[in-house]
Structure 1
Amino acid sequence: MTERTTTARTGATATGFDRRLLPPMILGSVLNPVNSTIIAVTLIPIGNALGVPPSQTAWLVSALYLATALGQPVVGRLIDLFGPRRLFLISTSLVGVAGVVGTLAPNLGVLIGSRVLLGFGTCAGYPAAMALLRSEERRTGIRSPAGVLTALAVANQTIAVIGPLLGGLLVSVGGWRATFALNVPLAALAVALGLLRLPRHTPPGGSDAPAAGTAPRTRLATRLDLPGMALFAGMLVALLLFLMNLRPEDWYLPVIGAAAGAGFVRRELRAPAPFIDLRVLGGNTPLLVTYGRALVTYTVSYAFLYGFTQWTEEGYGLSPFHAGLVQIPMFLVAIGVSLLSGRSTAVRGKLLVGALGQVAACVVMLTLAGDSPVWTLVLVALVFGVPQGLNSLALQNCVYAQADSERIASSAGLLRTFAYIGSMVASATAALSFGPHVTTGGMHHLAWFMLGAGVVYLLLTVLDRTLGRNSDATGAAAGV
């Protein structure tokens, strides 16, 4: 199928972005953040209902991110090769299955299994959206439609921040199981929109196209680089399992991860069509720095989301609904900041202000106590709203400008992978900080860790001389 045929079937105009792609793009990309954040206010109710401490309910967070961190670049690579439609439909269908399993789960083990399914099910949304952006750029000749990038970022930030409030409302109305049942109608709507709106796509040939005369099955295996994917999975699983439960007796996990990592590097440097082209990635220092920046900023963001929210419930005494209510100011500030800054192509200023905002919020967290007035909790949420509205948008713009055009989906998946590794670090640190009970002292310990990560993020931004060039790369942006 040619690009002209695909365009005709979607009803797109020759000169503008096809707006009918926006609903499935946005809904698919928010399935992960809604499940990431809605769990924040349900950890305590789930622990009370199933009789397990916070150190065990933390696996509900870790399981989702273990699956998603592994699946995002893999699914992204499949989207680069085969187009977004079929991967989007398969993945979002799995979200619905996970919702049913989680709703009916009789114990923590099954509930964790449903979160693993959710992780894999939400892998396709964001890489598919970025791939569609790139294909629309090729079709229209309009580079980096800033309005669409902003819409994606605002939607993700809206869901990420409103998630705790929505979770608290669902828990108060239908119990914690209602937060899992929500995935069933969301998945059904996403599948319907995908069937109706996403174009049937035959990926173009290119540097990854196999040689003529190769057997179809061999050709497919070569293009997928299954050994590279397996080694990447082994490396990442060992690393994340170690981060989930930091214990000296698990020393063998980083050893396994290092061995798998060495094998992965050796394989990718020799493979004719590597899963992750380390030769290209290694020469793309700005993109590597962007990934490093994503790791530390999401560590801070998720430590606040999970740690601070648990403290407002158990350490401060708020109900799940009121704990979510406290974060409304962060939701409002984040959305406002994103909308105001979305049209600007200058990422350096966004990243600097975002880094300073995280540092300031961590300092305010260190002043909180169990008897602090409620307005101080609201103040922390307000301050955190600024980096929440700036950082993910700026990082997304960086990847869009810095990544290889033919690997945009897998590059976007890697951005999410680094973000999820950050969330795993945050979850593990929160579990170590709190132990069996969530206390103010544990929250302060977590805040010191967050402050250190925020300073690293600030230094990575201040010392990065390449950020100014991103404005030039995205300067030809056009609105939707």
Structure 2
Amino acid sequence: MRQADKPGFDRRLLAPMLLGSVLNPVNSTIISVALVPIGAALGAPPSQTAWLVSALYLATALGQPVVGRLIDLFGPRRLFLLSTALVGVAGVVGTAAPDLGVLIGARVLLGFGTCAGYPSAMALVRSESERTGRDSPRGVLTALAVANQTVAVVGPLLGGLLIAAGGWRATFALNVPLSVAAVLLGLRRLPRTTGADRIRPARTGPPPGTGEPGGSGESRPGPAADSGPPPREGPAARLDLPGMALFAATLTSLLLFLMNLHLRDWYLLVIAATAATAFALRELRTAAPFIDLRVLGGNTPLLATFGRALLAYTVSYSFLYGFSQWTEEGYGLTPFHAGLVQMPMFLLAIGVAVVAGRRAGVRGKLVVGALGQLAASAVLLTLTGRSALWMLVLVALIFGVPQGLNNLALQNSVYFQADPERTASSAGLLRTFAYVGSMIASSAAAASFGQHADTAGMHRLGCVMLGAGALHLLLTALDRSLGRVAAADARAAAE
């Protein structure tokens, strides 16, 4: 069949895909300008309000790959509806929260509630590609990236407007109408097909776009290669609940340690190491693992992408939260004006993502993105409480370039490097590594600022950002597999 005769992507899916995927970033960016007002209202210093950031990302880092795996098995509809409904519940709890503890609980609910949006979108891109025979998702993937950047534009500014109009509680109340809209769109437009309809025998070759696993030139069989045809069983039988539980124990104990780095919490690292060992043993022995370590371990390019996500988002979120708090406490801006200062960054990021999304490949995007983070972090170290306002805007503008490039490049990398049968769970793992980076950023910000977000603390945080940015650049420069992603992207667009 000629390309022109093939059916096209179902455009009705775009609205729920885009809205679901931005529920998490809208809550991330709004809270960045609400931390200081919340701290003032509840009598909490930055070291305590940092838990409002960490709580959401702890829940989301844990929930994204779990929900992603459920989407791989059962399809996106039910998981999308359940999760987005939970966002509305979290909005009500947060709006009525009497103290910081309840507010942190609301952020945990928001974390779990926003888990399904992005994996659902990636799964729908994959299933539409299979339905239509058009493996050219570049435009839709770019739309997802641009939607997230657009929300990032609106988030800080909208947060400032909401705080000015109704106080910080209004930033939580916003989730109620967003949840209602997402549920209604999901009910009307998401397909009713289940993951069971899309399950196929396990692949024995490398993931698309990666060449041979690890770039070694050797073909490694998948986990089912020597065990005959896969059993004909329903998706429920393929749920690895013990593996999910061990994954949760590993990640939770690790992230709790990262949230408040101190030697007295050494036992959390012991728990994490023990749970991780048990998890690895479980996943290597079970027939239907939650995370197939045998395939993932042979897919070095995908592992490198996850590592880059951790480093890139460590820098990004250090800036998002650290710079926002400093502009309010260290520089003296209101929450509204603090959001306004960041607006040029996100506007430029949208333009960069739109332009870069038209071009195949990811290496150039990642290299420029890493260099942009390094440049912006270096300029950040020159700022003081007496710096001209245009200097703050300049730093935000420089950060706009990596904001527009890194998210797009990492997203496209996962699409072409992941096992198609695990697209949603791989997308969830990408977000998990990003959220681990955000946890590191949150912990670094809390340690750098202590009781007050002053200039000296921001400079300490800037040094952390420089180190992470340098590692990101090094990991990108040494990764030869990125050229194969460009080739796969170009082939897909030409089909």
Which bracket does the TM-score occupy, shorter chain normalised? over 0.9
Does 2:316 align with 1:301?
yes
Letter in 2 for 1:264: F
Residue of structure 1 aligned with 2:32, choices 26, 40, 43: 40
Following the alignment from structure 2 to structure 1, what is the Cα–Cα distance between the partners of residues 154 and 283?
Answer: 40
Counterpart of 1:311?
A: 326
Task: Please tell me whether the aligned partners of residues 199 and 421 of structure 2 are also in contact (alpha carbons under 8 angstroms).
Answer: no
Counterpart of 2:356?
A: 341
Does 2:231 align with 1:211?
yes
Residue of structure 2 aligned with 1:443, choices 458, 465, 472: 458
Following the alignment from structure 2 to structure 1, what is the Cα–Cα distance between the partners of residues 484 and 6?
Answer: 29
Deviations 1:451-473 (A, max 9, x none): 00000000011111111110111
Deviations 1:377-416 (A, max 9, x none): 0000000000000000000000000000000000000000
Letter in 1 for 2:68: G
Following the alignment from structure 1 to structure 2, what is the Cα–Cα distance between the partners of residues 360 and 211?
Answer: 53
Counterpart of 1:173?
A: 165
Q: CA deviation at 1:142?
A: 1.0
Following the alignment from structure 1 to structure 2, what is the Cα–Cα distance between the partners of residues 136 and 458?
Answer: 34
Q: CA deviation at 1:223?
A: 0.9
Select between 309-318 and 467-476 the one with higher mean Cα deviation: 467-476
Deviations 1:272-331 (A, max 9, x none): 000000000000000000000000000000000000000000000000000000011101
Residue of structure 1 aligned with 2:70, choices 38, 59, 78: 78
Q: CA deviation at 1:157?
A: 1.5
- Structure 2 gap segments, 5+ residues each: 203-228
1:95-174 matches, cutoff 5 A? 95-174=87-166
Residue of structure 1 aligned with 2:191, choices 183, 186, 199: 199
Following the alignment from structure 2 to structure 1, what is the Cα–Cα distance between the partners of residues 109 and 230?
Answer: 32
Following the alignment from structure 1 to structure 2, what is the Cα–Cα distance between the partners of residues 257 and 264?
Answer: 10
Counterpart of 2:254?
A: 239
Letter in 2 for 1:29: S
Q: CA deviation at 1:205?
A: 3.1
Counterpart of 1:3?
A: none
What is the alpha-carbon root mean square deviation over aligned residues? 1.4
Identity %: 74
Task: Please tell me whether the aligned partners of residues 142 and 476 of structure 1 are also in contact (alpha carbons under 8 angstroms).
Answer: no
TM-score by length of 2: 0.92
1:344-355 matches, cutoff 5 A? 344-355=359-370
Does 2:492 align with 1:457?
no
Residue of structure 1 aligned with 2:176, choices 170, 184, 187: 184
Q: CA deviation at 1:37?
A: 1.1
Deviations 1:140-194 (A, max 9, x none): 1111321100000000122124311111111111100000000000000000000
Counterpart of 2:417?
A: 402
SS at match of 2:294: helix
Q: CA deviation at 1:251?
A: 0.5
Residue of structure 2 aligned with 1:91, choices 77, 83, 89: 83
Following the alignment from structure 1 to structure 2, what is the Cα–Cα distance between the partners of residues 134 and 251?
Answer: 42
Following the alignment from structure 2 to structure 1, what is the Cα–Cα distance between the partners of residues 194 and 17?
Answer: 19
SS at match of 1:474: helix
Counterpart of 1:420?
A: 435
Following the alignment from structure 1 to structure 2, what is the Cα–Cα distance between the partners of residues 162 and 239?
Answer: 32
SS at match of 1:169: helix
Following the alignment from structure 1 to structure 2, what is the Cα–Cα distance between the partners of residues 269 and 91?
Answer: 30
Select between 195-204 and 183-192 the one with higher mean Cα deviation: 195-204
Task: Please tell me whether the aligned partners of residues 154 and 338 of structure 1 are also in contact (alpha carbons under 8 angstroms).
Answer: yes
Letter in 2 for 1:206: R
SS at match of 1:16: coil
Q: CA deviation at 1:211?
A: 3.2
SS at match of 1:72: helix
Following the alignment from structure 1 to structure 2, what is the Cα–Cα distance between the partners of residues 407 and 470?
Answer: 18
The size of the alignment, in residue pairs, is 462
Following the alignment from structure 1 to structure 2, what is the Cα–Cα distance between the partners of residues 187 and 232?
Answer: 28
Deviations 1:80-131 (A, max 9, x none): 0000000000000000000000000011011000000000000000000000
Task: Please tell me whether the aligned partners of residues 162 and 327 of structure 1 are also in contact (alpha carbons under 8 angstroms).
Answer: no
Task: Please tell me whether the aligned partners of residues 6 and 133 of structure 2 are also in contact (alpha carbons under 8 angstroms).
Answer: no
Following the alignment from structure 2 to structure 1, what is the Cα–Cα distance between the partners of residues 44 and 6?
Answer: 57
Q: CA deviation at 1:475?
A: 1.3
Following the alignment from structure 1 to structure 2, what is the Cα–Cα distance between the partners of residues 44 and 202?
Answer: 44
Counterpart of 2:279?
A: 264
Residue of structure 2 aligned with 1:60, choices 37, 52, 72: 52
Deviations 1:342-364 (A, max 9, x none): 11112111001000000000000
Stretches of 4+ moved more than 6 A in 1? none
Counterpart of 2:375?
A: 360
Following the alignment from structure 1 to structure 2, what is the Cα–Cα distance between the partners of residues 477 and 376?
Answer: 42
- Structure 1 gap segments, 5+ residues each: 1-12
SS at match of 1:327: helix
Letter in 1 for 2:101: G
Letter in 2 for 1:323: A
Task: Please tell me whether the aligned partners of residues 38 and 164 of structure 1 are also in contact (alpha carbons under 8 angstroms).
Answer: yes
Following the alignment from structure 1 to structure 2, what is the Cα–Cα distance between the partners of residues 324 and 205?
Answer: 45
Counterpart of 1:9?
A: none
Q: CA deviation at 1:247?
A: 1.1
Following the alignment from structure 2 to structure 1, what is the Cα–Cα distance between the partners of residues 250 and 143?
Answer: 34
Following the alignment from structure 2 to structure 1, what is the Cα–Cα distance between the partners of residues 33 and 319?
Answer: 12
Task: Please tell me whether the aligned partners of residues 168 and 322 of structure 1 are also in contact (alpha carbons under 8 angstroms).
Answer: yes
Select between 155-164 and 109-118 the one with higher mean Cα deviation: 155-164
Task: Please tell me whether the aligned partners of residues 53 and 436 of structure 1 are also in contact (alpha carbons under 8 angstroms).
Answer: yes
Task: Please tell me whether the aligned partners of residues 6 and 134 of structure 2 are also in contact (alpha carbons under 8 angstroms).
Answer: no
Following the alignment from structure 2 to structure 1, what is the Cα–Cα distance between the partners of residues 444 and 359?
Answer: 35
Task: Please tell me whether the aligned partners of residues 14 and 139 of structure 1 are also in contact (alpha carbons under 8 angstroms).
Answer: no
Following the alignment from structure 2 to structure 1, what is the Cα–Cα distance between the partners of residues 82 and 31?
Answer: 24
SS at match of 1:79: helix
Task: Please tell me whether the aligned partners of residues 147 and 478 of structure 1 are also in contact (alpha carbons under 8 angstroms).
Answer: no
Following the alignment from structure 2 to structure 1, what is the Cα–Cα distance between the partners of residues 154 and 459?
Answer: 24
Residue of structure 2 aligned with 1:370, choices 382, 385, 391: 385
Following the alignment from structure 2 to structure 1, what is the Cα–Cα distance between the partners of residues 388 and 154?
Answer: 22
SS at match of 1:42: helix
